Amino acid sequence: MTSRFSPEEVRKIARLSSLELTEQETEIFAEQFSVILEYFELLKTAEIPKVAVETDESYLSGSREDKMVKSPVSPEQFSPHLENGFFKVPRVIDQDN
């Protein structure tokens, strides 16, 4: 079974992502997405041998104690777009749709 991405599906994804694509970009992305889907189909057919693997769980022994420390960096140093201590970003998805 080969799944193909249609240009209409790419346009829908672009609209939801607030991206403006040219017709040529839409066609290129449709082809690239289709190739990626083909790889997933190929992975479904890969045979994986059942091999008993011993895992090293020594890292679970609690040899390191987690400690909480106050960061010397404040959110204001990351972005001027703060509101009540939270980052404010533009709306991506329209409420009308």
Distance of CA 50 to the CA centre of its chain: 30
DSSP letter, residue 91: -
pLDDT score, position 1: 47
Contact (Cβ atoms closer than 8 angstroms) between residue 86 and residue 76: no
pLDDT score, position 52: 62
How do the pLDDT tens digits run along the chain, 97 residues long? 457 889 999 999 999 999 999 999 999 999 999 999 999 998 889 887 776 666 666 666 666 777 888 888 887 787 778 888 788 887 777 666 5
Answer positive or negative: Cα dihedral of 18, 22, 23, 29. Answer: negative
Q: Domain limits of the chain?
A: 1-45
Instruction: Please say whether the structural domain 1-45 has been given the CATH code 1.10.20.60.
Output: yes
Confidence (pTM): 0.47
Name the amino acid, one letter, at 89: V
